[in-house]
Amino acid sequence: MTQDWIDTAHLAADAARAVTRRWFRRSPPVSHKAAASPIVTLADQQSEAAMRAIIRSRHPTHGIHGEEEADVVGEPGAPVWVLDPIDGTIAFASGKPLFTTLIALTVAGETQVGVVDQSVTGERWLGVRGVGATLNGEPVRASGQSDLTVSRLSSTTPSMFTAAQAAAFERLSSRVHVTSWGGDAYSYALLATGTVDLVVEVGLSWYDWAPLTVLVEASGGVITDWQGRPLRPGDADVVAAASPALHAAALAALQG
């Protein structure tokens, strides 16, 4: 069944890619959402609709959870697809090629197949549990870095943190070699590729991190919540690292 799921994930990513490439830097209509997620574009809605159509046609008994539309409840015990049509909508709307389309196939809340697709650069990461991680079909691995003092830390924006979280992040940031901002899910894909060593964020939704768990783990990395527990639907705070030792050091710094 896994290959069928992989094929569906690629077809869904192809469908979303066609939409996002068509709208990129062409000013799609924008509407405002809640303050924490300020805009949604027509490209978000059209790309999710395109992915849902692929999934429904190939797996009519599966569930679907996405950012833009209501959940589709599948048959009891059936897999659930988790979709984020444009992770990094602000980057997309600003004409920055740092957004991604995220696709996860989950079973009992655990991701089995995850895709991170960047349509403008033509990069597609695939993680398959128990198999490995690839970029455009070529195997990739996390750096394996274990030394916090020479590691490369990334996060999307300092504005995501509360005061207490910001203080914890600063403890970590002060101990690493370099901290960079921006990237959303793209940073986790770079961790799987070996050019970022740590990603630390808060306030994420299931569709933001679902495909990232299998991608990071299949590349040799570790991804959990801030307490070191496996991520489950409803979790929001994430620590991803290129090795178990680096993950442990990051958690220790965050917890003071």
Domain boundary among 97, 117, 139: 139
Q: What is the DSSP string of 182-232?
A: --TTHHHHHHHHTS--EEEE-S--HHHHHHHHHHHHHTT-EEE-TTSPPP-
Q: Are 152 and 249 members of one domain?
A: yes
Q: Region 90-118: what's the mean pLDDT? A: 95
3-state secondary structure of 31: strand
Q: Are 58 and 174 members of one domain?
A: no
What pLDDT does residue 179 have?
98
Q: Are 163 and 210 members of one domain?
A: yes
Pick the more confident residue, 125 or 32: 125
What pLDDT does residue 30 have?
67
* Owning domain of residue 168: 148-254
The answer on pLDDT for 35 being more than 60 is: no
The CATH number of the domain holding residue 173 is 3.40.190.80
Q: Are 80 and 179 members of one domain?
A: no
Domain boundary among 139, 156, 185: 139
The answer on pLDDT for 191 being more than 80 is: yes
3-state secondary structure of 8: helix
Half-sphere exposure of 75 (CA within 13 A, CB side): 6
Of 62, 54, 112, 58, nearest to 85 (Cα)? 54
Q: Are 125 and 235 members of one domain?
A: no
Number of domains present in the structure of the chain: 2
Q: Are 194 and 120 members of one domain?
A: no
Share of the chain above pLDDT 70, in %: 95
The CATH number of the domain holding residue 79 is 3.30.540.10
Q: Are 244 and 157 members of one domain?
A: yes
Q: How confident is the model at residue 256 (pLDDT cuts 50, 70, 90)?
A: confident
Q: Are 113 and 211 members of one domain?
A: no
Q: Are 154 and 124 members of one domain?
A: no
Q: Are 168 and 204 members of one domain?
A: yes
The answer on pLDDT for 29 being more than 70 is: no
Q: Are 203 and 182 members of one domain?
A: yes
Phi, psi of 195 (to 5 degrees): -105, -10
Residues 197-247: tens digit of each pLDDT: 999 999 999 999 999 999 999 999 999 999 999 999 887 999 999 999 999
Look up the pTM and report it.
0.94
Residues across the chain: 256
Q: Are 195 and 121 members of one domain?
A: no
Domain boundary among 112, 139, 166: 139
Token pair listed for 22: 């068509």
Q: If you ran DSSP here, which 8-state letter would residue 70 be given?
A: P
